[in-house]
Amino acid sequence: MPGLMGRLARTVMAGRRGRFVRWYGGGGDDDGGGGSAEDAQARELIDRQLKLAPAGGHQVLIVQPYIKWGANKDRSTRPEVKADESRSLVRTLAEWSVTDTLLVGLTSYRKHTFFGPGNVDAIALRVARDRRITAVFVSVNVLKPIQHQHLEHRFGVPVYDRYLMVVQIFRRHAVTREAKLQVALAELPYIWSRIRGAQDGYAERLGTEAGQIALSGKLMYDDKKDLLKAYEKKLKKLVEKLRSHRQHLRHNRTNKDLPVVAVVGYTNAGKTSLVRALTGDVGLVPKDCLFATLDVTVHGGVLPSNMTVLYVDTIGFISDIPTRLIEPFVATLEDAMFADVIVHIRDMSHPNVIVQKSHVEETLKNLSINPELLNSVIDVGNKVDRLDNVERDGSSVFISCTTGEGLDELKKKIESQIMKATGRRTIKIRVRTGQDEYEWLRTHTAIVNINTDGDYSVMEVIVTQSDLDVFKSLFIRKKINN
Ligand SMILES: Nc1nc2c(ncn2[C@@H]2O[C@H](COP(=O)(O)OP(=O)(O)OP(=O)(O)O)[C@@H](O)[C@H]2O)c(=O)[nH]1
Ligand SMILES: [Mg+2]
């Protein structure tokens, strides 16, 4: 079995490294350095806008804004918990560090200056006094161009919002060309919004240095618009090819008729750990950081009844990120959409587990997944080894990938869900040992049990309806005809 699975996983992975993405020189050393001079120019332009950090990283002052009251107040979590996630985002980048975290209550995020004047002054003073600080991370979804320009002007250091932070991480963690391509595509809407923001001339009205920056942005927009458009077109074409290639792979997999289980969840919940625990695939390396996995990979495993399944490890979800950033990754999540069963894994030890759960569920709903599949998602509470007490509800399976607790129960649940979803069933059949029927069943079904008694064996097997039909037409009718 591992041989077959290894081959399958390799086939899938080999396909990902198709030559059609070779020209995209997204920064890796095996990219072949392809692309035209215009592409290189476009990339340079993008890198500048994305404020890619210097080699030594940044020492960051985190400012965690929150809405103090009113309809927009987020009642599902606390600012301290959000600040924790913001710290995790920064720490995910090895050379970056956090100098301090400030919680700042606001009445809205819509002001042109983002914070009120008192807060801007206080933060600016803090940055000026603390020489360690080389950047400020305002942990909000995405700052408007005018807000961004204003804050950078006032603080005198680069300012990052959540979008920019996640892009830094994506850039760092994208290893394969496919992941790099998805990241490159995810960056473009942001670049457009920045240079359009400049073109709209908001900041010109500020009449400050920020206005000058915006003006240079306006020139860039006029000059470089075509360059970016051409680059975007190429990327989209490549993604399109990738998509059809994927469909081809998926089709191949369907032909092999192996059930597919997609493992989804919030970033760092333990998706990779779970796939590793269920398959014994030591090639999978779980990491204590956000967005460790940026590639969808497929791994073979065996369920209690000997049925072979394919587990799909996927990219994690995160809240407060513009959906357009994850849009290109939706293509990779299509694998999840075409699964027979979805496993949603959650980190029970995380203080925000409830909010994370609903965020994943909402995102899944928007992925146009077939409602039957969506209604039968297996909910898994992970990392119970970290808890003294687990409030067990009947509908979830509680596990620890570290200790192995609950994995047998989970496997059984996955198995019964697959049987339901794919119309597989267990049958017992008596055939002549070693004869054609016997060999056919051994190759085409999952063998649960074989009881051999002389010339005959009673085989207990799991079989799909279509295979059962083939079996009948090959052997049973033949017998009747004879
Ligand atoms: N204590 C404990 N730690 C766990 C458990 N499962 C996973 N972890 C740890 O949690 C961290 C994240 O695990 P991953 O498997 O990489 O999580 P992921 O969901 O694949 O994360 P991304 O790919 O970044 O979205 C790693 O440090 C794991 O060792 C568990 O059951 N108990
Ligand atoms: Mg992972």
Rg (CA), the chain: 27
Backbone angles phi, psi at 428, to 5 degrees: -115, 135
Please tell me whether 252 is known to bind a ligand.
no
At 393 the pLDDT is 78
Candidates 85, 169, 272, 387: which one to mutate for ligand 1, based on the most atoms within 8 Å of Cβ? 272
Instruction: Output the residue whose Cα is nearest ligand 1's atom 12.
Output: 268
270 Cα: distance to centroid of ligand 2 (angstroms): 7
pLDDT per residue rounded down to tens, the chain (482 residues): 333 333 333 323 323 222 222 223 333 333 333 478 888 888 888 888 888 888 889 999 999 999 999 888 888 889 999 999 999 999 999 899 999 999 999 999 999 999 999 999 999 999 999 999 999 999 999 999 999 999 999 999 999 999 999 989 988 888 887 788 888 888 888 888 887 766 655 444 444 455 555 555 555 566 678 888 889 999 888 878 877 776 666 666 555 578 999 999 999 999 999 999 999 988 888 888 888 888 888 899 999 998 999 999 988 888 887 777 777 676 667 666 788 999 999 999 999 899 999 989 988 888 778 888 999 999 999 999 999 988 777 789 999 999 999 999 999 999 999 999 998 999 999 999 999 999 999 988 989 999 998 899 999 999 988 889 999 999 886 554 44
Ligand nearest to the CA of 350: 1
Q: Are 141 and 320 contacting, i.e. CB atoms less than 8 angstroms apart?
A: yes
22 Cα: distance to centroid of ligand 2 (angstroms): 25
User: For residue 441, what are the CA distances in angstroms to 8, 49, 375, 436?
Assistant: 22, 60, 33, 9
What DSSP designation does 475 have? I
219 Cα: distance to centroid of ligand 2 (angstroms): 41
406 Cα: distance to centroid of ligand 1 (angstroms): 16
Instruction: State the maximum Cα–Cα separation within the chain, in Å, rounded to a whole number.
Output: 95
347 Cα: distance to centroid of ligand 1 (angstroms): 8
At 331 the pLDDT is 62
Please tell me whether 370 is known to bind a ligand.
no
Ligand nearest to the CA of 88: 1
At 239 the pLDDT is 77
Residues with CB under 6 A from ligand 1: 265, 267-273, 286-288, 290-293, 316, 382-383, 385-386, 400-402
Please tell me whether 384 is known to bind a ligand.
yes
Q: Are 96 and 85 contacting, i.e. CB atoms less than 8 angstroms apart?
A: no
pTM over cut 0.85? no
At 243 the pLDDT is 72
Q: Are 296 and 271 contacting, i.e. CB atoms less than 8 angstroms apart?
A: no
At 24 the pLDDT is 36
Which contiguous run of DSSP H or E holds residue 159? strand 159-160
Determine the atom of ligand 1 nearest the C-alpha atom of 288.
27
CA distance 241 to 11: 17
Determine the atom of ligand 1 nearest the C-alpha atom of 345.
19
CA distance 457 to 455: 7
